[in-house]
Structure 1
């Protein structure tokens, strides 16, 4: 798996949808500029022309629509991403655990940019930096934790099954700092990039 494909999969898993009855993939985002930056990844990875893409607004959100039977086949059959509304069945493609550091960071950064953020949380009387998500899939967060561990981090899963939101808590300040510094190299979402920089500044001031 290459870096561009890893980023595409990250966006699809967090902000995307593979249609069950049509040969189509849709990625939803609040900002049109972010979606337009994803198009070159699809074009380079799959050698697609402009006619396969459409960007439009619906329900106050921008949508990138990609029409291709081949791409649908790649993601559903080769990487096991379910088509249709089967969010609870989403898993990380096992092949990610056999990729290099850069490819994994492309994937993780896309997941965070798609539907995550850098925040702070209190636990056991201490304040920790956290990578948070609004997820209904606890298994997905568990597999993300396993990927973090395989990269040398020490994450902890947090959240509530009742509320249906989960996060990944990075308890060691040096690991948080290192991860955010690394993630900044791969970000395409300018607003979240600014927030990551602000988070980094807070960590620097706190020592």
Structure 2
């Protein structure tokens, strides 16, 4: 299914760039809409595949530092960070016992979410920190210790009443015309946290950014 979509995108781009002078404005608009529709479908397929991979039986845990993971991800998305004049700051790092490939997806999705919902006139700043959590919240195992990983941004934020809804599959707080996306990204994050027997919370105020906190049990 992905190969036909790639061909639609490729040929649409070729027509838009190479044949624009020979097309009417209406015809050019049709090709542009076709290209965007194919791109949205491609993104949906990619996200559905990522979601399905979270159900993989391979749940091997590795000990990796948060700082190392973030440095590798920042290198992968360096161009996007540069284009948006975005900063990703790590205030404190910890060694994490994680399913490596899944947690990389989690970090990527959270950063992408912050970049997408940035303020129009403000460069994105994403602050990440890790620490041991000594408190208790609903759903935690009282016999375990937890690491708390916080991801805080300076974006548009959201109404706190939607804090649970945003982790549901295909749930969106904005129309696709306002903010592009599939409505699966944070669902993938939640599934990965569940795979680590952890918890995730979301806090936000409209206009004041959002904060996601992930609680992971400390492994012996």
Larger Rg: 2
Bigger share in helix:
1
TM-score (norm 1): 0.32
TM-score (norm 2): 0.31
